[in-house]
Chains A and B, each alone.
Chain A
Amino acid sequence: MTHAVVLTRATKRFGRKVAVDQMDLSVRRGSVTGFLGPNGSGKTTTLRLITRLYEPEEGTVEVLGSVREKCASDRVGYLPEERGLYRSMKVLELLCFFARLKGVRSPEASVREWLGRLDLAEAAGLKVEALSKGMAQRVQFIGAVAHRPELVILDEPFSGLDPVHAAQISDAIRELKAAGSTVILSTHDMDVAERMCDSLVLIHEGRKVLDGTWAEVRSRHGRVTVRARLADGPIDTSRLPGVERCADLGAETAIVLEPGVDSQELLRALQQQGPITRFDLGESTLREIFLDLVGATRMEEAAA
């Protein structure tokens, strides 16, 4: 069994709205997979299908080898997008309760270890209502992982965290992966996804738009981008070869080349326009690919 999660033509509707549409998706065991997509794209619904909060109207959702049974839920950890903690419970008591719900008989040691790791040891006796947003966020994270799940589903795990604590969570995710857990990470933060994820899934309008490792995604959808500046004035982009699009950044111009176009050809064409004071070569970021794909889908839909 190489995949922790397999969705086969999974469909979920709410009334007339199709939130997840014929989704085919596989998440490799032991990987960190990023779920990307604009708001309302169906990411959270897909995660809820995986956590069995929703049942698909069509298709199947296989989680850790189990298709229908709820038994996999004890092996899954879930951090929902909107935090859910009992405000009047103490932190340690609450986390032990969550862990016991997952079938852990004596969770206190594991919970205390996680509290220490995320700088929350002193908050163990505090009531949840006394926690700051960032502390509550870390407590919720511990609730999702303290039972050492095989599959961890994290919906926006970094929201509300300062850089220090975000780095702690990142480290914790890497440790989970190193320990053999599969992590699904839903995020709007493209830098995080690019840095942490082995593979990426872009969901838009309930459909999977992109799927693969970062290298695969970049080779399929990436473009060469150039930031250039001339000493004598603005660049005449109409005289440049293989330009897919460009953007005037004031003193500079950002140029995206068509696939397969050699950047040296562009350099030669620019030299004919005058002395070059800047010529930076770069590859597409995930953000740019994301915006490209989502924008293209929107345009296709508009045309249709």
Chain B
Amino acid sequence: MEKILVIAGREFRAAVLNKAFLVSLILMPVLILISSNASSIAQGWKSQKARSIAIIDRTPGIGVEAVPTLRLLRERELGQGAPAEKSRSDTTENGGLPGGQLALLEFESITPPADPAEALKLRYDLGRRVAAGELAAFFDIGPAALETNPQPTGEASVTYYTDKALDRDILLGVGVKLMTIVQLQRTATQNPLLLMRKERRYSPAEIVGLVEAAGKTASKGLIQRDLPTLSESGAVLEGKEVQSGLRPLVPIFAAIFLFMIVLIGAQPQLQGVIEEKMNRIGEVLLGSATSFQLLCGKLLGMTGTGLVLSMVYVGGGLMAARHWNLAGDLRWDLPAWFFLFQGLALLLFGSLFIAVGSACSDMKQAQTLLMPVSISLSIPLMFLLPVMEDPTGSLARSLSFIPLATPTVMLCRLAAAPNLPLWEPILGAFLVLVTTVGAIWVAGRIFRIGFLTTGKAPSLMELYRWIFSRS
């Protein structure tokens, strides 16, 4: 037992009395704080400007009273102090009415034309207003929405037109509520107690009362479409129907996949550099090539490996999407952006990982120096959901121009907002490129000295000297 304790004591001291332990001791709570408050931070960055939603109600007669009901619901929310935090945790399943989402929404009632072609033209015009930012989205309540056994088509349901992958405020705050209103009004058409009314409909106040009493909302039947477009001949084309659940997954999946490929590619490079140092291969290599040639060779090899991995997975994913008829939901420019940002991220983070590897003599030392790099790689992931929900908001835009976060965040924005102005990803890519060149220069300076240095890891001051010293 005594020997066990002696060994345990040595292991404990070795683990605790080093810089890595102290750094993680300080950084861990900071990371937990950031990750747990990412949603609140995002909320703080969220635009407080009111957004407009247009609603076309094509049901006969007085319609479903959608706009007055939504306005009343919004007043109720505001009257309850717009419990935004509560609303985030409420779901339609637990019976609570999602609140707070309507607080910053304005509703515009659009009178529908009788002619279907005119109706399509109207939807196209509204789509243009959405693309221009005048409207956040628009809804179309089909003419057959109040039929008792409606077919699951746009004519008999509610269609949500948007250019975003996911906007929970609109989807849950308006889409789900509109479906609830439609379903309640559908029951009103069968309710004998309403026979005396001019039209068998519930009033907005009654609907609000029923929703609150029943505590249930419904989303079944809600259809999501892209904005209508124009064909080459100038004819208006209906927007593509968004397949269930795939669209919201793409931005998150793309960003996390990019992150994983960087880790898969860069981590072995770090270990490889340490191995080359330890096995003294570095001396042989540097006798044949300059440190810059060696670093660039390693980076290009790693980037090539990462891109091949990406091509296999992305290609496989696209083929699978096509096989299961989900490909129509995917934008074909996205893989190009993905490969661009993937390549840049591999070069940027790869150079930093190699610099860390060349400065250290073993993995324990590397863990300490790697911490800031790993954190800068993983923090953007904590903000993916808010970025995806509001890809053109201040938070998303600001994060996507911080070069270390650009690859993941900009990719997420590109996948979530198809109409992102082209200059934004181009500027983002340019900033990452400039930072990558700088990172490779710094890595090269560290590499040329660190690769032949053994012993303890350098201090920050030594690293500074390595970077800026002449020889």
The residues of A with any CB-CB pair to B shorter than 8 Å are 48, 51-57, 70, 73-74, 76, 78, 80, 82-87, 98, 101-102, 140, 143
Docked Cα-Cα span, A232 to B137, in Å, equals: 121
Residues of A within 8 A of B287 (CB): 51-53, 73, 76, 78, 80
Given the complex of chains A and B, what is the CA–CA distance between A76 and B452 in angstroms?
19
Pick from A48, A57, A80: contact of B284, CB below 8 A: A80
Q: Could you list 8 further interchain pairs (A-B, Cβ under 8 angstroms) beyond the known A53-B452, A54-B471, A74-B288?
A: A53-B287, A57-B471, A73-B287, A78-B284, A84-B276, A84-B281, A84-B285, A86-B281
Does any Cβ of A come within 8 Å of B286's Cβ?
A: yes
Residues of A within 8 A of B289 (CB): 73, 101
- By a CB distance below 8 angstroms, the chain B residues around A83 are 280
Interface residue? B279 (CB, 8 A): yes
Q: A53-B452, A55-B471 given as contacts; is B284 within 8 A of A84 (CB)?
A: yes
A-B contact pairs, 7 of them (CB 8 A): A57-B471, A82-B280, A84-B276, A84-B283, A84-B285, A86-B279, A98-B288
Query: Do residues B280 and A84 form an inter-chain contact, with CB atoms below 8 A?
Result: yes
The number of A-B residue pairs with CB atoms under 8 Å apart is 51
Interface flags, B257-291, vs A, CB<8A=1, else 0: 00000000000000000001001111111111110
Which residues of chain B are within 8 angstroms of A102 by Cβ–Cβ distance?
Answer: 288
- Report A-chain residues with C-beta under 8 Å of the C-beta of B286: 53
The reply to whether B471 and A85 form a contact with Cβ atoms under 8 Å apart is no
Q: Once the chains are docked, how many angstroms separate the CA of A56 from the CA of B470? A: 10
Contact B290 A80 (CB under 8 A): no
Q: Which A-chain residue is minimally distant from B287 (CB atoms)? A: A78
A51→B286 CA distance, assembly (Å):
9
Whether A53 contacts B288 by the Cβ 8 Å rule is no
* Residues of the A chain whose Cβ atoms lie less than 8 Å from the Cβ of B282: 84
B443 CB to nearest A CB, Å? 18
> Contacting B280 at CB < 8 Å: which of A48, A70, A80, A98?
A80
Q: How far is the CA of A106 from the CA of B436 in the complex (A)?
A: 34
A146 to chain B, nearest CB (A): 12
CB within 8 Å of A: which of B430-468? 452
Which of B276, B279, B282, B283 has the most chain A CB atoms closer than 10 A to its own CB? B283
By DSSP majority rule, is chain A's interface helix, strand, loop, or mixed? Answer: loop
Given A53-B452, A70-B290, A98 and B279 contact (CB-CB distance below 8 Å): no
In the bound assembly, the distance between CA atoms of A84 and B281 in angstroms comes to 4
Q: Which residues in B have some Cβ–Cβ distance to A below 8 Å?
A: 276, 279-290, 452, 471
Q: Is the CB of A101 within 8 A of B283?
A: no
A87–B287 CA distance with the chains assembled, in angstroms: 19
Q: Which of A56, A84, A101 contacts B279 (CB 8 A)?
A: A84
B281 and A85 contact, CB distance less than 8 A = yes
A224 to chain B, nearest CB (A): 43
For A82, what are the chain B residues with a Cβ–Cβ distance below 8 Å?
280, 283
Question: Smallest distance from the beta carbon of A183 to chain B beta carbons, Å?
Answer: 15
A85 touches B279 (CB 8 A): yes
Shortest A144–chain B CB gap in Å is 8
Question: Which B residues are CB-close (under 8 A) to A86?
Answer: 279, 281
User: Bound state CA distance, A251 and B413, in angstroms?
Assistant: 93
**CA–CA, A87 to B282, complex, Å?**
13
Contacts of B276 in A (CB 8 A): 84
- Given contact pairs A55-B471, A85-B279, A98 touches B290 in the complex (Cβ within 8 A): no
Q: Are B283 and A87 in contact (CB under 8 A)?
A: no
Distance, CA A74 to CA B288, complexed state (A) = 6
Across the interface, name the chain B residue whose C-beta is closest to A77.
Answer: B287
In order of increasing CB-CB distance, the 9 nearest A-B pairs are: A84-B281, A84-B280, A101-B288, A78-B287, A55-B471, A82-B280, A80-B283, A84-B284, A51-B287
Chain B residue nearest to A86 in the complex (CB): B281
- CA of A80 to CA of B280, assembled, Å: 8
Interface hub of B282, B284, B285 (most chain A Cβ within 10 A): B284
User: How far, in whole Å, are A70 and B452 apart by their CA atoms in the complex?
Assistant: 17
User: Separation in Å of the B281 CB from the closest CB of chain A?
Assistant: 4
Q: In whole Å, how far is A150's beta carbon from the nearest beta carbon of chain B? A: 14
Name the A residues within 8 Å of B281 (CB-CB): 84-86
Cβ A101 vs Cβ B280 within 8 A: no
Inter-chain contact A101/B452, CB cutoff 8 Å: no
Q: Nearest Cβ distance between residue A165 and chain B, in whole angstroms?
A: 20
Smallest CB separation, B126 vs chain A (Å): 62
Which residue from chain B places its CB closest to the CB of A56 in the assembled complex?
B471
Q: How far is the CA of A73 from the CA of B452 in the complex (A)?
A: 17
Instruction: Name the CB-closest residue of A to B272.
Output: A86
Bound-state CA distance A98–B284 (Å) is 8
**For the complex, what is the distance from the CA of A282 to the CA of B403, rounded to whole Å?**
75
User: Smallest distance from the beta carbon of B9 to chain A beta carbons, Å?
Assistant: 34
Cα–Cα distance between A82 and B283 once the two chains are bound (Å): 9
The answer to whether residues A143 and B471 also contact, given A86-B279, A87-B279 and a CB cut-off of 8 A, is no
Q: Which residue of B lies closest to A14 (CB)?
A: B453
Bound together, the chains give a CA A57 to CA B283 distance in angstroms of 20
Choose among A53, A74, A85, A140 the residue with the greatest number of B CB atoms under 10 Å from its CB: A53
Query: Measured between alpha carbons, how far is A57 from B469 in the docked complex, in Å?
Result: 11
Q: Kindly list chain A residues whose C-beta atoms are within 8 Å of the C-beta of B285.
A: 84, 101
Chain B residues with Cβ below 8 Å from A87 are 279
A84 CB to closest chain B CB, in angstroms? 4
B452 contact set on A, CB distance < 8 A? 48, 53-54
* Chain B residues whose CB sits within 8 angstroms of the CB of A54 once the complex forms: 452, 471
Bound-state CA distance A76–B283 (Å) is: 13
**Least Cβ distance of B366 to chain A in Å?**
20
Residues of A within 8 A of B288 (CB): 73-74, 98, 101-102
Q: How many angstroms between the C-alpha atoms of A52 and B290 in the bound complex?
A: 9
Residues of A within 8 A of B283 (CB): 48, 53, 78, 80, 82, 84
Bound-complex Cα distance A156 to B402 (A): 51
Taking the closest CB of chain B, its distance from the CB of A174, in whole angstroms, is 23
Residues of B within 8 A of A98 (CB): 284, 288
Q: Which of B281, B288, B471 has the most CB of A within 10 A?
A: B288
Q: How far is the CB of A10 from chain B (nearest CB, A)?
A: 12
Residues of B within 8 A of A73 (CB): 287-289
Q: Could you tell me the distance between the alpha carbons of A103 and B471 in the complex, rounded to whole angstroms? A: 26
Contacts of A48 in B (CB 8 A): 283, 452
Residue of A at shortest CB range from B297? Answer: A101
Which chain A residues lie closer than 8 Å to B290 at the CB level?
Answer: 70
Q: Which of B280, B282, B452 has the largest number of chain A CB atoms within 10 A?
A: B280
Complex-state Cα separation, A101 to B297, whole angstroms: 11
Point out which of A51, A54, A101 has the most chain B C-beta atoms below 10 A from its C-beta: A101
Q: B282, B287, B290, B471: which has the most chain A beta carbons within 10 Å? A: B287
Give, as a whole number of angstroms, the nearest-CB distance from A189 to chain B: 21
Beta-carbon nearest neighbor of A70 in chain B: B290
**Interchain CA distance A231-B280 in the complex, whole Å:** 58
CA distance A48 to B283 in the complex (A): 9
The residues of B that contact A52 with a CB separation of less than 8 Å are 287
B471 to chain A: closest residue by CB: A55
Complex CA gap A70/B285 in Å reads 13
- Quick one: closest B residue to A88, CB to CB? B275
Cα of A54 to Cα of B286 in the assembled complex, Å: 10
Q: Kindly provide the distance from the CB of A182 to the nearest chain B CB, expressed in whole angstroms.
A: 16
